[in-house]
Structure 1
């Protein structure tokens, strides 16, 4: 991949990677891109996430991957997979997965674009925001399981407690 040096001004729908590139540039997020993929880094509430957009023009599918810096050790694989299943039950868009090669935790969302294969700025912003929000929402639960030795159900319950009222 090469570092991105060009500037885009996007007022209408654009090719998916061009639109994501324009969004990254507008937000000041460092990124690299090529004809099939864009990769950047975004600061979430709990950690920095690597965000990738992968475009498959033959299928008109844009895949968004969001990777927190979380690796699952062999001894925690069973508990981590149970937590992934529990977390995925609560999600409307996308899902979590653990890559078998390297035990990398990731959020993945595939979006089928229309016949023109174009992406709007609103769509791009939503896809990125959803990915980061879901990683932020479940990050504590993964921490509890992987480093706090909590059972997956207990970790999810503890992480999902929303404060009532205002601080």
Structure 2
């Protein structure tokens, strides 16, 4: 993935994909603009390397941000994973977790309505990306506990939230 040379001041707003490109470049994160209205990149979280994808829908002025922690849900764990999803999503204020029916991939998804101008500030871009990474980091252990540790969904969530509360 190639970085792009884009520079913005904190007071500037820009088209969402361009602003996210500037943020990724400033942070030294690998990214690629895959289409005029899409960006794909990688970010190292606390538990894993996450794939991030941003999709801009200008007709709705909505920026959809997807964060994929590279977790696949096998058929035999699907019921427990969906139960955990419901418990996890109750804990969230922004975005939600889902399992794509095509490929059984776990993902975090957030749609941000940007208003009539359809512009994104660097602060908004940073908040959207950091929230996605933080939420994936916060709940990654719970999914690991269910999918590979054979814990119940409720027990996995409780364990993950206790561990997260203890981190400094």
- Is the TM value for this pair above 0.5? yes
Looking at structure 1, the residues matched to 102 and 76 of structure 2 have their Cα atoms a distance apart, in angstroms, of 15
Secondary structure at the residue paired with 2:63? Answer: strand
Secondary structure at the residue paired with 1:109? Answer: strand
The 8 Å contact of residues 3 and 30 in structure 2, kept in 1 or not, is answered as no
Q: Following superposition, which runs of at least 4 residues in structure 1 exceed 2 angstroms of deviation?
A: 3-6
2:5 — aligned with what? 7
Secondary structure at the residue paired with 1:88? Answer: helix
How far has the Cα of 1:114 moved from its partner? 1.2
How far has the Cα of 1:6 moved from its partner? 2.9
1:43 — aligned with what? 44
TM-score (structure 2 length as normaliser): 0.94
Secondary structure at the residue paired with 2:54? Answer: strand
How far has the Cα of 1:5 moved from its partner? 4.6
Q: For each residue in 1:108-166, what CA deviation from the matched residue of structure 2 results, as whole angstroms up to 9, or x when unmatched?
A: 000011111000000000000000000000000000000001100000011110228x7
1:119 lines up with 2:120 in the alignment? yes
* Match among 132, 156, 166 for residue 163 of structure 1: 166
Aligned residue pairs, count: 163
Secondary structure at the residue paired with 2:13? Answer: coil
Q: For each residue in 1:18-69, what CA deviation from the matched residue of structure 2 results, as whole angstroms up to 9, or x when unmatched?
A: 0000000000101111202100000000000001110000100000000001
Q: CA RMSD in A?
A: 1.2
Looking at structure 1, the residues matched to 166 and 78 of structure 2 have their Cα atoms a distance apart, in angstroms, of 30
In structure 2, the CA distance between the partners of 1:5 and 1:128, relative to structure 1 (3 Å rule), is: closer
1:75 — aligned with what? 76
The 8 Å contact of residues 16 and 56 in structure 2, kept in 1 or not, is answered as yes
TM-score (structure 1 length as normaliser): 0.95
2:143 — aligned with what? 142
Q: For each residue in 1:60-83, what CA deviation from the matched residue of structure 2 results, as whole angstroms up to 9, or x when unmatched?
A: 000000000100000000000000
Query: Which structure 1 segments of 5+ residues have no match?
Result: none
